[in-house]
Chains A and B, each alone.
Chain A
């Protein structure tokens, strides 16, 4: 039996990787991917904790988070499509009209 702490370390590591990817990369699709990684980090933690505590709440939360992540991805990708149509580019550095 793997102790629950290991899962939590894994979750925090995944979260950190996602955050690093979000901050470090300027490609919008990679940034969206990084957010997915962060959400899945939370899912790992929730599933592990739910199993540890013999409590179904954690597992139910995972399903809700997955559903919301899907909705978020739908909106994010449609924005990326609009962006590509407009600038022929999905890079944040190209999108710089607002300043100040």
Chain B
């Protein structure tokens, strides 16, 4: 295909994000009012979404801006928007409120968008690296706290190991099929599931399993989540995970579709382990960021079920779950940010004791998000779990759905324990808040999202179903 400007129109949102991110990194020297970057980031995110909507349906060889990509890009941009909203006060206090912070967030989202729309293993690999490299730096932004440095280092080492696996898998697939374009790989693999093919799939499974926090590749998750600045934790817990699943969806359900039976058998034990190890380890956590980290491992296990089932219905349910997860998880981290008046404070779950007596509104927000993470109606979390597990049953994996429900029963305990602490105990120590207008906006938006999707899931559900490739 001849190279022309027409082809580049499909990637205009990514070009826009790269230009804006570069501008924010460079202009940091001359712009002293750092709040300006905050506003640029908010407006830029909204504009990027509008551009994404405009290019749906355009494609060229290695890039397909289809409805699947658009749905997931909405999740990335939504989590970017909410994470930017919860940032300012925290970033000011931890002294990383400058242009590079927002620039790196934008670079990361740009990489995620390439992962969601890439039709070529090279494009997906480069998108994954752009995302990961930006997030390593974001995690290390709180380097004055030794924990942030440690989390960043562990995340970096294990993430680089994962990308080495990805490159090796890419080389194997290239050797086996003679191509790196996803449709050609699927074509070449049809009817030929040999041992080398399974080996290549295992390499991809390890690499992407690291990114979505699949057990046993989850060791970095609690450390990186606890060490990272809280707004960054909120961002990476949702967006990086959604990007990993976007790539898994593309690679496994498109390129490896002919080998579906082989890799779904391989994935089932991992998914079950992920759900149970995640939910059991959540129970013993007393640091709220670690608790939410292990809970994100559990949620990754649920979403993996949607990939294993591999039907249109289950993939759309997994995508809807990612969208709902963005609202409830970033909302929960928003409340954590609200309680972090100083660095290191507000992370112990016993500091939430009696929160409802002192500050009823933050306690109510936390209640909504925790109920949603548990999966109690009428919140969105219930809707997400319901459709996901139902689609898994429809695909014939009834046993897996039963196990998933069991895991979510175990996972309910830590969430409800915090609710119990907030509402049924008297406050023992002084709690102070670090409020900001944008943080309240973010919490209100997330809570509205959680409740409205819980009450009226119909239109989102049909748009998710329409988005599946």
Residues of A within 8 A of B (CB): 8, 11, 15, 18-19, 22, 28, 31-32, 35, 38-39, 41-42, 45-46, 49, 53, 55, 57-58, 61, 64-65, 68, 71-72, 75-76, 79, 82-83, 86-87, 92, 95-98, 100
Q: Quick one: given A71-B129, A83-B149, are A61 and B140 in contact (CB under 8 Å)? A: no
Distance of A28 Cα from B172 Cα, bound (Å): 28
Partner of B178, one of A31, A32, A55: A55
| Chain B: minimal CB distance from A16 (Å) | 11
Residue of B nearest to A4 (CB): B175
9 additional contacts (CB under 8 A) given A49-B174, A79-B156: A8-B175, A35-B157, A46-B171, A57-B179, A71-B129, A75-B156, A79-B153, A98-B226, A100-B222
10 contacts across the A-B interface (CB closer than 8 A): A22-B157, A31-B157, A35-B160, A35-B164, A49-B175, A61-B180, A72-B133, A82-B140, A98-B147, A100-B290
Q: Quick one: given A28-B157, A45-B172, are A98 and B133 in contact (CB under 8 Å)? A: no
List residues of chain A with CB within 8 A of the CB of B125. Answer: 64, 68
| Cβ A76 vs Cβ B126 within 8 A | no
Distance of A22 Cα from B159 Cα, bound (Å): 12
Instruction: Give the number of residues in B that approach A within 8 Å (Cβ atoms).
Output: 42
| Cβ A76 vs Cβ B156 within 8 A | yes
Tell me whether B285 is interfacial, beta carbon within 8 Å: yes
| Cβ A100 vs Cβ B285 within 8 A | yes
| Cβ A83 vs Cβ B153 within 8 A | yes
List residues of chain A with CB within 8 A of the CB of B150. Answer: 95-98
Chain A interface SS verdict (over half):
helix
Chain B interface SS verdict (over half):
helix
Tell me whether B168 is interfacial, beta carbon within 8 Å: yes
Partner of A57, one of B152, B153, B160, B174: B174
List residues of chain A with CB within 8 A of the CB of B153. Answer: 28, 79, 83, 92, 95
| Chain A: minimal CB distance from B180 (Å) | 6
Tell me whether B229 is interfacial, beta carbon within 8 Å: no
| Chain A: minimal CB distance from B54 (Å) | 29
Q: Quick one: given A79-B156, A97-B147, A98-B226, are A42 and B180 in contact (CB under 8 Å)? A: no
| Cβ B152 vs Cβ A79 within 8 A | yes
| Cβ A82 vs Cβ B174 within 8 A | no
Hey, what's the 0/1 contact readout for B98-124 against A, CB within 8 Å counting as 1?
000000000000000000000000100
| Chain A: minimal CB distance from B297 (Å) | 13
Distance of A97 Cα from B147 Cα, bound (Å): 6
Residue of A nearest to B176 (CB): A49
Partner of B149, one of A31, A72, A79, A96: A79
List residues of chain B with CB within 8 A of the CB of A39. Answer: 164, 167
Distance of A86 Cα from B227 Cα, bound (Å): 15
